Structure 1
Amino acid sequence: MSDEPNKHRFLTIDQAAEELNVKQSLIRSLIRSGELRGVQVGGRGVWRIGANDLEDYIAEAYRRIAERVAAGDLQDDGESEAQ
């Protein structure tokens, strides 16, 4: 996400999904599991995700992947073909 001055503090589920290039259902699932923080606003099904919370989720995902790579638990798709 860029630091554009008109960026909103909160994102809709659709905006968060677009930012990660995933389906809205995955964002809802991440919220339900507690992996991604979100707040329910007003009526049923109206969720907002803090822009900082989305950035924190991304940073944590990078950290987890780096740990798996360092431990040898994750191979590059092309790596198995080369062997």
Structure 2
Amino acid sequence: MTALVRRGDLPAIKLGGRGQWRIERSPLEEFIQRAYEETERELRERRDGRDGESDEPSGGVDEEQ
């Protein structure tokens, strides 16, 4: 969570001197929803072959050998 806050992905405030963060429920739920949507989009693109990657070998040496 700290990395998300420091990058600015998740708004929060630091309370007291013990390093505790306060994150409001609504922005957290919105962040989680965006993460689900982004993951779904990435998986769909990968499945549809639009990300430029292929499950097929690239004509070179098979890496599993």
Give the structure-2-normalised TM-score.
0.58
Two-structure CA RMSD over aligned residues (Å): 2.2
2:3 corresponds to which letter in structure 1?
S
Counterpart of 1:3 in structure 2 is: none
**Which structure has the highest helix share of the two?**
1
Structure 1 residue 64 and structure 2 residue 47: aligned? no
SS at match of 1:72: helix
Counterpart of 1:29 in structure 2 is: 3
Which structure has more RCO (C-alpha within 8 Å, separation ≥ 6)? Answer: 1
Give the structure-1-normalised TM-score.
0.47
Ranges in structure 2 where 5+ consecutive residues have no aligned partner: 48-54, 56-65
Name segments (4+ residues, structure 1) moved above 4 Å.
Answer: none
Give runs of aligned pairs for residues 1-83 of structure 1, distance below 5 A.
27-41=1-15, 43=17, 45-72=19-46
d(CA) in 1 for partners of 2:35, 2:11: 14
d(CA) in 2 for partners of 1:72, 1:64: 12
d(CA) in 2 for partners of 1:46, 1:68: 33
SS at match of 2:23: strand
Matched residues, percent identical? 33
Larger Rg: 1 or 2?
Answer: 2
Aligned length: 48
Ranges in structure 1 where 5+ consecutive residues have no aligned partner: 1-26, 74-79
